[in-house]
Amino acid sequence: MKIALIIERMDPLRGGRETYTGEVAAELARRGHEVCVVCQDAQWEAPGVEVVRLGRSGLTRCGRMRRFLRAAGGVLASGEFDATHAMLAMPGVDVYHPHGGTVASSAVAHVRRRRGLVRALYAGVGWLNFGRMQRARLERRIVREGRAVCLCVSELVARQFERDYRRRDNVRVIFNGVAEMEPDASRRIAWRREVRSAVGVGEDETLFVAVATNFELKGVAQTLRAFARWLGATHSRARLAIVGRESVGPYRRLADDLGVTDRVHFEPPTRQIRHWYAAADAMILLTWYDPCSLVVLEAVRWRLPPLTTAYNGAADALAGGAGIVISSPDDTSAAVAAMEELANPLSRQKRAEACGEVEGRLALARHVDELLRLYEEVAAKKKTEGSAVERSSSTVQVRPDESC
């Protein structure tokens, strides 16, 4: 099949959406499909994948988005693709894949993590977020036109479409998947020793790891507070490593205020995240919102028990005991109790065994199998409705009211 994947910026270090796109593109190409990634710019490549860089131009983000959608539409119209799969709101594609969930639900989550007057302020001035308004108009058009299959990576996102648009028809859940993670045992042991030695963590210490690209959204402050309270109550020998793309100054100051500076290590984003999984004993992601966190699924495939929240669509994978799910990042008592359990080697071992029971269902190969069945469906449907060129050229357009 000839498949187009559309995304703004293709750099896996930016986050889960980019990581997902890269892994899916590479797997599709490995299986012999003709894959084209259409983007503004890219810091990524893979064997057998064509990357079309359209550039970034425009004074505002809305303007850049408008130009990108138009240019990408031109690529799709001339490419005669069997299936077009967009990771952003782009009318006219075959598959719309909102990695952040619906725009309305994402906005609710943005307000949820605020408190008091700040929360009221964010709720009141949300209409001033012109980029969000543009995405919302584009998404409403996609749903209204009904051509695209709305792809959801968890039941959490499917419920959003039902709540926000009263739509389940043409909404497809294909639960997220991640690439094979585990190396041979000797390499894993070597990585564990290497990382723990580099940051001064002894083998008798528990190492929690938190991986995030948006520290505020992913509850890093709440993680630090819970970690500090747990240390204060138990005097356990433990460390917390926070890995991600963020300005860490405010979080270093918070760690200092909490008296845990010497127990917390900040690590910049890395392409060697598996080394940190090997070094860690448990994963923590106290997120305020995540449609289906890849890092939690990666942790499960690594048999690294995760702690997350009910706001994470990936929590469905933990129902059999592979990890711990608490109600909210603000439920500090529950987070502390979970840390106490995960610091216990016997408890961790039981949860690691539960991870092993579900890891196969989280495989990227299974996810791509389901994607290909979806692509075949939309390709067959297009053949009955007319050529891909005619359909793309008539629908991949950004209207004036969809600009900022």
pLDDT-based confidence at residue 401 (cuts at 50, 70, 90):
low
* Residues whose CB falls within 8 Å of the CB of residue 318, separated by 6 or more in sequence, listed in order: 296, 300, 306, 308, 324, 325
CB 103 within 8 A of CB 132: yes
Q: What token pair was written down for 61?
A: 């983000």
Q: What is the pLDDT of residue 126?
A: 57
**In whole angstroms, what is the distance from residue 354 CA to residue 338 CA?**
16
Cβ atoms within 10 Å, residue 257: 12
Q: What is the pLDDT of residue 213?
A: 86
Name the residue among 55, 47, 54, 2 with its Cα closest to residue 22. 47
Per DSSP, the three-state class of 86 is strand
Decide the pairing of beta strands 238-244 and 264-267. parallel
The mean pLDDT value for 134-138 works out to 92
**In whole angstroms, what is the distance from residue 212 CA to residue 320 CA?**
25
CB 113 within 8 A of CB 103: no
Among the ranges given (128-132, 226-230, 239-243), the one the predictor scored with the smallest mean pLDDT: 128-132
Q: What is the pLDDT of residue 73?
A: 95
Q: What is the pLDDT of residue 16?
A: 86
**In whole angstroms, what is the distance from residue 178 CA to residue 363 CA?**
5
Q: What token pair was written down for 113?
A: 């993590």
CB 219 within 8 A of CB 288: yes
Q: What is the pLDDT of residue 78?
A: 87
Q: What is the pLDDT of residue 131?
A: 84
Q: What is the pLDDT of residue 393?
A: 43
| Residues pairing with 172 in the sheet | 151
**Does pLDDT of 400 surpass 70?**
no
Q: What is the pLDDT of residue 157?
A: 96
Mean pLDDT of the chain: 90
**In whole angstroms, what is the distance from residue 342 CA to residue 283 CA?**
9
**In whole angstroms, what is the distance from residue 297 CA to residue 285 CA?**
11
**Does pLDDT of 156 surpass 90?**
yes
Q: What is the pLDDT of residue 122?
A: 57
Q: What is the pLDDT of residue 389?
A: 43
**Does pLDDT of 271 surpass 60?**
yes
Per DSSP, the three-state class of 169 is coil
Q: What is the pLDDT of residue 388?
A: 45
Q: Which residue type does 70 have?
A: R
In order of their start, the domains of the chain are 2-177+363-396 (3.40.50.2000), 185-361 (3.40.50.2000)
**Does pLDDT of 399 surpass 70?**
no
Beta strands in 26-129 (DSSP E): 34-39, 41-42, 49-53, 83-86, 95-96
Q: What token pair was written down for 67?
A: 């130009």
**Does pLDDT of 333 surpass 90?**
yes
Write out pLDDT tens, residues 84-135: 999 999 999 999 999 999 999 888 877 777 666 655 565 555 556 788 889 9
Beta strands in 112-271 (DSSP E): 149-152, 171-173, 206-212, 238-244, 264-267
Q: What token pair was written down for 125?
A: 């001035």
Q: What is the pLDDT of residue 13?
A: 83
